[in-house]
Every structure is written in C-alpha cells, then in structure tokens.
Amino acid sequence: MSPDIRLIRRFHMTIDAGQKMPEGSFGIMTDDGPGTLSAGELFAGKKVVLVSVPGAFTPTCSVQHLPGLVDHAGEFAAKGVDTVACMAVNDVFVMAAWGKDRGVDDKVLMLADGNGDYTRALGLELDASGYGMGLRGQRFAIVVDDGVATHVAIEEPGSFDVSSAESVLNKL
C-alpha cells in the first residue's frame, strides 16, 4: 500500500452483507438547484446498486468506473435494479457537472457526500491527503435490497475490479 493513501480504521465496523444501510442523506442536483435525498428515500422498497468512487473527474473514475455504469444501465434494469447510484466525497455542484460531462442523463443517480458523513457511516473512508485530496471514500459497490446490503465489494487501494459494472452485474 502506498504511504500516500491510507485506509482509515475507526472503532466502528465496515458495512457488510446482511446489514441494514445506515441513516443519512446525500446531496443531489434537482431542476430547482441543490437538494437532498435521504438514505430511506433511496433504499426503501427498492433494489439499488450504490457505487463509490474516490473523486469526480479523477482518471479511473471518469474513464472506466462511471462510464461502465452508464453503458450497462439497461442490463442493471433488466436484472431488477431500480437505481444505479454513484457517490463521491465531492459537493453537489461537482457531482452534477461530472454527470453532465460524462453524459449520465438519468442512467445513474449522482450522489454528493460533501463532508464524507455517509462514507464514514459505512466505515469506508480513505485518507488521500498524500495526494492533496483529503478524506475521500474508498472505491466500492454495494447492492442494496430494501435497505439491506446484500453484496459488498470493496476494492484494494489502486485497484479497479470488484466494483466494476461487469463484476456487480455478475453478482446480481
């Protein structure tokens, strides 16, 4: 592991399959400007694929991770997924601009975790201060069925495999 990126280990546990998703909220861009979406609104009664990336506009996130979710949106829907959501520890304006830049349209819900509160609630923080990026979220994918995590895939630092659209589709 690079000395510049450290996983933050806290006294709380990391989310695992079979556990209820934590309470919290996300920033979203609406037609009227910035808004919020609660975890309950996102997950209750739905099957959701929640993907986290270390940052909007970063190379792997922009060239591979988010485009894979967009390209496979129809396949997720065909497997019963109601929402594919991409979360990053960025503000709502950055997430909206990134979604527009990548042509997301309504295929992927762009979620801002501006202060990293939801990321911390999941126990999946990443200290990227060695790269001048501060607290971020680890790269991961969680399949959520009616508020319960049914599959949790967390990448090793610097990797992009288990959280890819193709890998998640294979788990559905």
Q: Are 15 and 21 in contact (CB under 8 A)?
A: yes
CATH code of the domain covering residue 73: 3.40.30.10
Number of domains in the chain: 1
pLDDT score recorded for residue 3: 43
Residue 7 domain-assigned? no
Domain membership flag for residue 9 = no
Token digits of residue 32 = 């009227």
Q: What is the pLDDT of residue 12?
A: 54
Per-position pLDDT tens, the chain of length 172? 444 455 544 445 799 999 999 999 999 999 999 999 999 999 999 999 999 998 888 878 877 899 999 999 999 999 999 999 999 999 999 999 999 999 999 999 999 999 999 999 999 988 777 777 768 789 999 999 999 999 999 998 889 999 999 999 999 9
**Is 4 part of any domain?**
no
Residue 13 lies in a domain: no
Question: Which domain range does residue 102 map to?
Answer: 54-171
Q: For the sheet with 6-7, list strands across it.
A: 6-7, 125-127, 135-137
Question: Is 3 domain-assigned?
Answer: no
Annotated active-site residue in 50, 61, 96, 108: 61
Which run of H or E residues covers position 148?
A: strand 148-154
**pLDDT at 63 (0 to 100):** 79
Predicted pLDDT at 10:
47
The whole model's pTM is what?
Answer: 0.90
* Residue 102 within any structural domain of the chain: yes
pLDDT at 1: 40
Catalytic, 61? Answer: yes
Helices (H), 25-140: 39-43, 59-60, 66-71, 73-78, 92-101, 117-122
Report yes or no on 140 lying in a domain.
yes
Residue 127 in any domain: the answer is: yes
